[in-house]
């Protein structure tokens, strides 16, 4: 699809009924004009400039019909927490396959998609990671995020579908836990990163960390030259309130020792 078509057709946004989705929708309309928002859950009233479609990402035909009308895709749909493999497969694995396969078939792209820090959550806290490290999932959910990254890699190398995977840390209004001093990404920075990805002349099959400019960040996007993401927020502003007496957590507790925090300790049995 030509760059002009990419920009004149609506942006397709999956996962639009989620917490991040609801915050992003009006801002995406402001940035990109027309938006098709989809989710398996109720999307609420459509905003001016928005079309809402309730659809299951595991339904290949429904996804195909949505992608066929889109210019580019923001794929945030799926389960964003640890649960059973049976539940994760249709939502995160089949759903992501359906999005990429429809994009390939219709020549739609690029795709910016949510991966997660839980794809690398078994690295130790404090270890500095660049975007070339191998995945180290901390949960079945994290495995599905690594799957997305691998699928995106295949779809670029074999078919030329361009994408950017965001290994989102902790996207929320404010950091509320000592771990978030490293992992936090403000909503505004997440939007800046999405916009920077869509503005890049070429994405290839990049993966980036979704993180603000935190003094205590473990993650670097320095190797990703394609995207001009300049985060403006820094969790350090909350350090005095969160750890007034310094970090008193047990450094050997798995949720402290490893980057993935509670996703690591959930079921940890070593």
Which span (83-91, 115-123, 132-140, 218-226) binds ligand 15L, by CB under 6 A? 115-123
The DSSP element (H or E) to which 205 belongs, if any, is: strand 205-210
- Gap between the Cα atoms of 232 and 110, Å rounded: 25
Using CB under 6 A, which of 14, 38, 80, 182 touches ligand 15L? 80
Measured between alpha carbons, how far is 124 from 251 in angstroms, rounded to an integer?
10
Do 124 and 87 form a contact (C-beta atoms < 8 A)?
A: no
Looking at the Cβ atoms of 11 and 119, the one nearer to ligand 15L is 119
118 binds ligand 15L (CB under 6 A): yes
Q: Does 96 bind ligand 15L (CB under 6 A)?
A: no
The answer to whether 170 contacts ligand 15L (rule: CB under 6 A) is yes
Applying CB under 6 A, among 91, 139, 183, 214 the residue interacting with ligand 15L is 183
Residue 93: Cβ within 10 Å count = 19
Q: Does 125 bind ligand 15L (CB under 6 A)?
A: no
The DSSP bridge pattern shows strands 11-14 and 170-171 to be unpaired
Give me 25's structure tokens.
């929708």
Considering 97, 113, 123, 141, which one is annotated as catalytic? 141
Active site residue 156: no
Q: Which residue has the tokens 């990254």?
A: 149
Interface with ligand 15L (CB under 6 A): 80-81, 116-118, 170, 183, 261
Active site residues: 141
């Amino acid at each position: 699809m030509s760059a002009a078509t990419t920009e004149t057709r609506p942006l397709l946004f999956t996962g639009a009924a989620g917490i991040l989705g609801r915050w992003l929708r009006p801002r995406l309309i402001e940035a990109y004009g027309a938006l098709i928002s989809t989710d398996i859950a109720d999307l609420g009233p459509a905003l001016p400039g928005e079309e809402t479609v309730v659809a299951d990402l595991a339904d290949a035909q429904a996804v195909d019909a949505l992608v066929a009308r889109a210019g580019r895709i923001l794929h945030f749909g799926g389960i964003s927490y640890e649960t059973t493999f049976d539940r994760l497969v249709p939502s995160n694995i089949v759903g992501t396959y359906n999005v990429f396969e429809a994009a390939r078939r219709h020549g739609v792209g690029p795709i910016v998609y949510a991966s997660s820090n839980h794809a690398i959550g078994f690295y130790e806290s404090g270890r500095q990671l660049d975007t070339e490290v191998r995945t180290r999932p901390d949960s079945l959910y994290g495995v599905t995020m690594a799957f997305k990254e691998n699928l995106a890699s295949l779809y670029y190398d074999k078919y030329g579908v361009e994408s950017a995977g965001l290994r989102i840390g902790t996207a929320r209004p404010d950091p509320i836990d000592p771990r978030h001093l490293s992992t936090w990404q403000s909503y505004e920075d997440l939007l800046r990163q999405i916009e920077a990805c869509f503005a890049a002349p070429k994405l290839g099959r990049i993966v980036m960390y979704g993180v603000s400019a935190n003094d205590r960040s473990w993650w670097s996007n320095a190797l990703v030259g394609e995207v001009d993401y300049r985060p403006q927020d820094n969790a350090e502003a909350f350090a005095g309130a969160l750890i007034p007496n310094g970090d008193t957590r047990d450094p050997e507790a798995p949720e402290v020792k490893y980057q993935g925090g509670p996703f690591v300790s959930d079921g940890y049995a070593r």
